[in-house]
Amino acid sequence: MENKEYDVIVIGAGNAGLVSALTLQKKGKKVLLLEKGRVVGGLASSFIRGRFEFDTSLHQLCEFGTKEDSDAVYDLFSRLEIIDKVSVETLPEAFAVYTLDHKEKYVMPVGKDAFLLKMEEYVPGSTKSMEEFFSLCEETKDALSYLNESKGHPETEVLMEKYPRFMVVAPYSIEKVLKKIDMPLKAQEILCSYWSYLGSPASKLSFIHYASMVYSYITKGPVIFKKSSHAISLLLSEEFVKNGGTLKCLTGVKEILTQNNEVIGVVTDSNEKFLTRHILANLSPNVVYGQLIQNDFVPDKAKSLTNLRNFGARGVSVYLGLNKTMKELGLENSTYFVYHSLDSDREFKRMHDVFSGNLAATLKNTSPDTSSLVLTSLIFGDAFDKLVTKENYFEIKEKLAESLVSSFEKATGMNIHDAIEEIEVATPVTFARYTGHPEGVIYGYLATSHDNLLPRIMNEENEVFIKGLRFCGGFGSRLSGYSSTYINGEMEALKTLGEMENERV
């Protein structure tokens, strides 16, 4: 008979779920990882159409680096002892950004010096403020590691002494800080091209959140997994099992059991009961508090917080297998942003429409004579819900694909249509189907004012509303994104471990 009690149950084998499960298992805990899908990875997956394998969602991974100059994810994979099995490719440039309204094009390289030089070329006189920006980034990075190490209890004196400028800029938006350091507007706009990766306009996005990401992309270079994100998800799950962990796919959780506001176990959708005092939920608090725990047992404050939060971006992705190489297509960049303008407030507003035409794209050669292009457009608010019915769904899907492809062609001036050999389209409905996230949200909660990175991290310990229940992943304290969710998986695992140790004392 199987012993149905576990030290920790991780619900959902997304990036954070996988990392946290492996971390805890390696620390000698008995871990059960439950995944409702057939395959692990959540959004970090891949699928095949014809002779192409498409990554479901990764544009590029940041915070990676190299062996000699490693960043957070590299270090994490080293600690998990999987780094030797991970093969990545560092992309040659940071990004190419195009505007549809003014036909602008800026291509930004990797490397701080090259980035500064290029920016000076595009925006003469920008160097001084750009240097100041980078120096703020460095202090921010150090301060954030200190905050992480302090496990939510930083000493104000240390912060004030060692990271004074961080403390000053931390509460403000990236836009406000860049203005303050007198960065020319055009340079601000180019630098903020990545805003859509974090799903909030520059005026709302916290400086430290944006700065940490941009700093990593520019100094370490964006990387992609050579085989696919699925390869990493599979690797994490196989390591977890090799270390003695129990993984059950096709096993959803129907109920989280609590007693006196403490976690005591879960019931699966096939009515199996597993006991535990610690749950790491790699899914949305909306589903946990709204579906998995009986309403009477959900503390009011948990409901208030969840009701307060706004969902982040939904997404539409068009996956194209092309029968031409990048060179034959006349396209040399790997990462593209296409916006109507570089004014992120205006574009954020525009993207409350389903057919904004704004997009992010990744292009790579997949064989000596083929390439793949993935176009992703974000949708904010409930526009998609309002537009789509079961009657018009397929038509809308076609129109979305058409609109993204023509927007990309318009921006770059290159023909994509004629090279399309395979095409697949994912909409919020697709993401809802595979993740179960409310509204098919892919970016967790909107990163804005009280729900930005710092307030989430600072209040995290006060927001463990039910003892033993923690959240990890894109809805968690490190927000959405590949590197964030990997890192957050380990953070939450260590906090859970800490709780266990305290119990023993």
- The residue among 408, 426, 392 whose CA lies nearest residue 357 is 408
- Which x/- pattern, by CB under 8 A, does the window 254-293 give for another protein? ----------------x-------------xxxx-xxx--
- Asked if 164 is part of the footprint of another protein (rule: CB under 8 A), the reply reads yes
Residue count, binding to another protein (CB under 8 A): 92
Options 162, 186, 227, 346; binder of another protein; rule CB under 8 A: 227
> Residue 402 is encoded by which pair of tokens?
């058409």
Options 83, 107, 167, 464; binder of another protein; rule CB under 8 A: 167
Closer to another protein by Cβ: residue 345 or 409: 409
| DSSP single-letter state for residue 48 | E
Measured CA distances, 445 to 202, 359, 479 (Å): 16, 20, 7
Closer to another protein by Cβ: residue 95 or 443: 443
Closer to another protein by Cβ: residue 259 or 392: 392
Q: Which of residues 457-476 bind another protein (CB under 8 A)?
A: 458-459, 462
- Asked if 417 is part of the footprint of another protein (rule: CB under 8 A), the reply reads yes
Q: Tell me the window of 257-265, 335-343, 396-404, 482-490 that interacts with another protein (CB under 8 A).
A: 396-404
Closer to another protein by Cβ: residue 174 or 497: 174
Q: Which of residues 31-50 bind another protein (CB under 8 A)?
A: 38-39, 46-50
- Asked if 323 is part of the footprint of another protein (rule: CB under 8 A), the reply reads yes
How many Å apart are CA 323 and CA 335, to the nearest integer?
19
Cβ–Cβ < 8 Å for 500, 463: no
Q: Which of residues 53-112 bind another protein (CB under 8 A)?
A: 53
According to DSSP, the residues that pair with 445 across neighbouring strands are 311
Task: Kindly compute the dihedral angle of the four CA atoms of residues 383, 479, 98, 47, in this order, to the nearest 10 degrees.
Answer: -80
Neighbour-count burial for 355-367, b at 16+ CB within 10 Å, e otherwise: bbbbbbbbbebee
Measured CA distances, 104 to 21, 94, 96 (Å): 46, 17, 10
Neighbours of 84 (CB within 10 A): 8
Cβ–Cβ < 8 Å for 5, 478: no
- Asked if 300 is part of the footprint of another protein (rule: CB under 8 A), the reply reads yes
Q: Which of residues 232-261 bind another protein (CB under 8 A)?
A: 234-235, 238, 248-251
- Asked if 356 is part of the footprint of another protein (rule: CB under 8 A), the reply reads no
| DSSP single-letter state for residue 291 | I
Options 398, 414, 415, 503; binder of another protein; rule CB under 8 A: 398
